[in-house]
Amino acid sequence: MRKISLIILSVAAVFAVDYSAMSTDELKASRGTVAEADRSAFQSEMKSRMQALSPEERQAQSSSMRQSKSGAQDGSGSQMRQGNGTGGGGGKQYHGGR
């Protein structure tokens, strides 16, 4: 049993992503696509990169990450949230004055 566990861990280490070899831009680009098994390593690397920055650089990186996160949304469904959609969500609909 111990040998099987050791083999599994060895195989997992071979296929693990080395986030320390990635640039900060590559790390930012891979946000949201990291496999669940790699999230801990990804988060640790991002945290260490952010701590290495000056306060001004950290602020700039944080704001650019927030903008890219909100910018990735296409706005679909925004009318539904406002009640203006035609998805049968209640609310009155305009039918050309009839």
Q: Please list the pLDDT of the chain residue by residue as tens digits (98 residues).
A: 777 765 665 555 556 688 889 888 898 888 889 999 999 999 999 999 999 989 999 888 888 877 766 554 444 444 445 555 555 555 555 556 65
Could you tell me the residue ranges of all domains in the chain?
8-55
Three-point CA angle 90, 91, 93, nearest 5°: 115
Count of beta carbons in the 10 Å neighbourhood of residue 2: 6
Residue 77 has what pLDDT?
45
Alpha-carbon distance values, 4 to 7, 10, 14 (Å): 5, 10, 15
Residue 47 has what pLDDT?
93
Residue 43 has what pLDDT?
93
